Amino acid sequence: MTRVFSGIKPTGSVQLGNFCGAIGRWVDGLPDAGSPAADQRDQVFCVVDLHAMTVDYEPETLTATTRQVASILLAAGIDPARCLLFVQSHVGGIHAECTWLLNCVAGFGELRRQTQFKDKADGSEHVSVGLFDYPVLMAADILLYDTDEVPVGDDQRQHVELARDLAERWNHRFGNTFVVPRATFPPAGARIMDLQTPTKKMSKSDDSPQGVVRVLDDPAVITKKIKSAVTDSDNDVRHDREAKPGVSNLLEIYAGVTGSSIDAAVTAFSASGYGNLKSGVAEAVVEYLAPFQQRSGELMADPGEIDRILRAGAELAAERANAVLQRTKRSAGLLLP
Ligand code: TYM
C-alpha cells in the first residue's frame, strides 16, 4: 500500500485552492470503508499548527482556526475510520526532535534559497528562525511516517524536493533510514490564482476579500466573487496562462471542481463569452461545495467530537512517528536509553 502524508496550516479560512490542489485528492485517494487497507490507516493528514507559528499570529485565533481546519477536513470526507488525522503539536516533541536531527544535515544555503522563505521574509522587519527552518520541520512531518507520496499544490514543490534531498543525504551518510518521498500534483488546479489578481496564488492568509473563495462562503457570495473575477478585454475563451491569466484560472477552477480536463473545460465554454464562463464556473463551484458545507455546519456544532477524533489520531501518529524517530537516532549513533 502506498503511504501518503500531507498537511495544511491553520492560518486562515480554507480556500478553494486548498481543495483543488490538495484536500479533494486526499479524500479521493482514501480506501473503501471497512476494507483491510482502511484499517491500515496508511494515509496520514495533519493540521500543522507549529508551522502556523512561524509568522505573526494571535494565540486565540490559532486555537480556533486549528479546530476549524480539522472540522473542515472531516466535513470534506477525511474519514478517521479510513485514515489518520491529527494536529502536529499533539505529536510535537517527536516532530521537533526529528527536525533537529535533520537540521544537522540541512545546509544553510539550500534553506536560504527556498522561494517561500524569500517571499515571506522579503520586506518583513522581523524574520524568525522558525520561518527559516520551516521546510526542515515539513521534511520531518513527511519522513516520520515512511511516506511514499505527498499530494500537494504546486507551491509546495520545492519543499517536498528538499525533504527528498534530506532523506537521500541522511541515507547516504547514515545508511538506509528514510523512505524517499515524492510529491504528486493534480492534473488541473495545482495553482489556483486570486480572482482579482490572477497573477498571484489564491491564499487563505491573504487579505483579498473579493479574490479568495473561502470554502465556507455563502453560495451567493461565491457566485458574486466568481462573476466579478478579473478577465481581459477580448471575449475569447482559451487556456493561456501568460496572455489570459484570469480566463485560464477560471478554466482551471472548472476542471478542478468537476474532475474534467482543461481541454474539456475549454470545449464546454469556447462558443460562449466570459459571462457564460463565469456563471458556469460559479455553478460548478457551488455544487461542488454544497454537500461539504452542510456537513461542516453539523460538525462544527460538536467541538467535543472533533477533539476526541484528534486525540485518537495523535495517539496512533505518535506510536508510528516514534518508531521512525528511534530508528533515525540509532542510525546517527546516538546512544539510546
Ligand atoms: P498550506 O496550508 O499553504 O496549503 C495546504 C495545501 O493546499 C495547497 N494550496 C493550493 N493548491 C492550489 N492552488 C492554490 N492557490 C493553493 N493554495 C494552497 C498547498 O499546496 C498545500 O498542498 N507547507 C504546507 C503545509 C505542510 C505540509 C507538510 C504539506 C506542512 N508540513 C507536509 C505536505 C506535507 C502549507 O503551508 O500548506
pLDDT per position as a tens digit, 205-228 = 888 899 999 999 999 999 999 999
CB 24 within 8 A of CB 18: no
- Residue 201 annotated to the active site: yes
Q: Would residue 120 show up in a list of annotated catalytic residues for this protein?
A: yes
Mean of pLDDT over the chain = 96
From the candidate CATH numbers 3.40.50.620, 3.40.50.300, 3.30.1360.20, 3.30.70.20, the one assigned to the domain spanning 4-185+303-332: 3.40.50.620
Render 19-84 in DSSP notation, one character per residue. Answer: IIIIIHHHHHTPPPTTSHHHHHT-EEEEE-HHHHTTS---HHHHHHHHHHHHHHHHHHT--TTTSE
Top-tier CATH class for 209-297: mainly alpha
Q: Give residue-wise pLDDT tens across range 128-141.
A: 999 999 999 999 99
Q: How far apart, in whole angstroms, are the C-alpha atoms of residue 300 and residue 304? A: 10
- Per domain, the residue ranges of the chain are 4-185+303-332, 209-297
- How many alpha carbons lie under 13 Å from residue 196 in its C-beta half-sphere? 11
Residue 329 among the catalytic residues: no
- Judge whether 4-185+303-332 and 209-297 match in fold: no
Confidence of residue 316 (pLDDT cuts 50, 70, 90): very high
User: Could you give phi then psi for residue 87, rounded to 5 degrees?
Assistant: -100, 130
7 φ/ψ sector (left φ>0, alpha ψ -120 to 50, else beta): beta
Q: Residue 20: what pLDDT?
A: 97
In sequence order, what are the residues at sequence separation of 6 or more whose Cβ sits closer than 8 angstroms to the Cβ of residue 13?
Answer: 65, 68, 204, 214, 215, 216
> Which residue has its alpha carbon closest to ligand 1 atom 36?
9
Query: Whose alpha carbon is nearest atom 26 of ligand 1?
Result: 7
pLDDT at 216: 95
21 touches ligand 1 (CB under 6 Å): yes
What average pLDDT does range 290-315 have in this prediction? Answer: 92
pLDDT on residue 206:
82
| CA distances in angstroms from 89 to 62, 112, 159, 302, listed in the order given | 12, 25, 20, 22
- Cβ 303 vs Cβ 67: under 8 Å: yes
Q: Is 297's pLDDT higher than 90?
A: no
Identity of the residue numbered 280: G
Cα gap 256→185, rounded to integer Å: 12
Q: How confident is the model at residue 234 (pLDDT cuts 50, 70, 90)?
A: confident
- Check pLDDT > 90 for residue 265: yes
Question: Which residue from 14, 19, 23, 48 has its CB within 8 A of the most atoms of ligand 1, so it is best to mutate?
Answer: 48
Grid cell 479521493 is found at 28
Q: What percent of the chain has pLDDT over 90?
A: 92
